[in-house]
Amino acid sequence: MDIRELFIDGQWCAGSTGETIGVENPATGDIVALVACASKDDLDRALAAADAGFRLWSRTSPWDRAKVLDRCAALIEERIPELAVLMTLEQGKPLAESRGELDRTVDVFRWCAGEAIRAYGRLLPQRGRGMRQTTIKEPVGPVAAFAPWNFPGVMFGRKIAAALGAGCSLIIKPSEESPAVSAGIVRACQDAGVPAGVLNMVMGDPAMISDYLIRSPVIAKVSLTGSVAVGRQLSRLAGELLKPATMELGGHAPVLVFDDTDVEKAARMTADFKYRNAGQVCLGVSRIYVQDAVYEQFLECFCERVNALKVGDGMQDGVTMGPLANARGVRSMEAIMSDVADRGGRTLLGGNSIGNRGHFWAPTVVTEIPDDSHIMTREPFGPVAPVLPFTDYDDVIRRANSLEYGLAAYAFTRSLDVATNVADDLEAGWIGVNNFSPALAEAPFGGVKDSGFGYEGGPEGFDAYCRTRFVSQANMDD
């Protein structure tokens, strides 16, 4: 059986623990590969490699770093057909979604290649003759990065691309549940000429690895995409050690559908985005609020669109929604539906697991549930959509902002006034009006409140891997 190996100091290797973790195909339940587990000795080797790699890579010209990242992008693009199959095999999403995610991964590497040579400092206005006062951006140091299982291509790749572009070395841990495509991206970086030690990949016991790496004096920066609970733990540890951190955490995105919009189009777009990756999307739709006058029309169009979804193995032609990625997801959906029933909710579609193999859940639509129910207050991360009516603007804004999550929010309206107001009033870091945009290479992506802090993507995300120094120089002859 295939072993997903560690990558340390330019070499692929088995973990010295001798232990492995099975990688499951969520469409079948079969174990398709084994993950090598790192020991503390392996982590020490990775830390030593990252330390040495930083001294080399930080002194490498930004133009040379950009060339390497461009080659990374070209190799990933060339290998998309095989990487997409690996992503679907281990994570479950349909092949078309896997290919789309890898296209965005290529975009990230290309954009960061360009940004590497745009990391400008500033020349400050002179305060006196013979004075030169400038700021200089430089890489922050070796990075410990932790990537999630739901987007093992783009969320993994954008940490690598930004860190390498800025001149940092890094040790990155992908999810043990979907490591193959992440390893493929690392291999593309290796083949593109990233020097040994600059990029290292480890897997195994997540709690042990994160604690050990963050506590190391080698690590200068922490980046996590994960749950709120894990984010609290890692940010607390990083804070105690005074290490900068970027935390992209959970979301519970509301969608506000106003009665002046194209209701049928809004329903189709919302359904398509809600059930992408079986609802396992941090930016994804979680709560749908529809204005009273168009509520019934929206619900009918939405359910019609959901009914047309074809659920199955993502490897099969025509499948538009794959399985949940793991058994935890099924148990979570069962808990949500139990609460819906207890709270007197109405299930219009789905509400149950399907099939006798894998982790499939029927696309589900529920209504008539209170705002304090399970699905309305906790990130669902699955294919269950609550659709509720609202009366007026102030009412829906209050309900949309009532949670401690603040990652994404969306609205549909033809009114310029309403569009402007929701952009001002919704408490979220990512706001879409009349569209659902995936995370873009050139745009900052980050949340407010319990959804985290800091940014990935755009100049803001690139700067997260830099520090700024001020230099004041005077002419001794004046």
- Listed in sequence order, the DSSP H helices in 323-410 are 327-342, 374-377, 393-400
Distances in Å between the Cα of 477 and the Cα atoms of 129, 130, 131, 474 are: 11, 9, 11, 9
Q: Which of 282, 301, 303, 466 is catalytic?
A: 282
Residues 6+ apart with CB under 8 A from 254: 286, 287, 288, 289, 399, 400, 409, 410, 426
- In the residue annotation, 456 being an active-site residue is answered as no
* Burial grade of 201 (CB within 10 A; 0-12, 13-18, 19 or more): buried
Q: Strand 11-13 relative to strand 3-4: parallel, antiparallel, unpaired?
A: unpaired
Residues 6+ apart with CB under 8 A from 420: none
- In the residue annotation, 303 being an active-site residue is answered as no
Q: Which of 97, 248, 427, 456 is catalytic?
A: 248
The tokens of 355 are what?
A: 């099939």
DSSP per residue over 385-442, as a string? Answer: EEEEEE-SHHHHHHHHTSSS--SEEEEE-S-HHHHHHHHHHS--SEEEES--PPP-TT
Residues 6+ apart with CB under 8 A from 248: 224, 225, 226, 282, 407, 445, 446, 447, 451, 452, 454, 456
DSSP per residue over 247-272, as a string? Answer: EE----EEEEE-TTS-HHHHHHHHHH
Q: How many helices (H) and strands (E) does the chain have?
A: 15, 21
* Beta bridge partners of residue 24, listed in sequence order: 31
**Catalytic machinery residues:** 248, 282
